Amino acid sequence: MALGLDTKGRVPHWPEERAHVDVRFVLGHLVAETARHAGHADILREQLDGAVGRFRDRDNMPGVDAAWWAAYLTRVQAAADAHR
């Protein structure tokens, strides 16, 4: 049986004020959680095998040097700091 996206349900282990949700919310939550955990697993894998990107022999990373990455990090940090 397929449920419509507006079908209401309840997640019993969530706080009561947030427990009543529809199928649309649950699907979005599951996608976000899966992506988050896949990202965590990828970070762990990169730490274990030292490879970055999708393939060991083709890392999909830009061909830039350490100075470029340092400058990039400075720009990203400045952007984040501007919104604190």
Please name the amino acid found at residue 39: G
The residues, ordered by sequence, that sit 6+ positions from 45 with a Cβ below 8 Å of its Cβ are 51
Residue 3: name the closest of 25, 19, 34 by CA. Answer: 25
Select the more confidently predicted residue: 51 or 30.
30
Q: Residue for token digits 């350490």?
A: 66
Q: How confident is the model at residue 84 (pLDDT cuts 50, 70, 90)?
A: confident
Residue 23: name the closest of 12, 11, 14 by CA. Answer: 11
Domain borders along the chain are 8-81
pLDDT of 53 strictly over 90: no
Rounded to 5°, angle at Cα 40 from 38 and 46: 100
What's the pLDDT at 60? 74
Across the chain, mean pLDDT equals 90
pLDDT of 35 strictly over 90: yes
Report pTM: 0.54
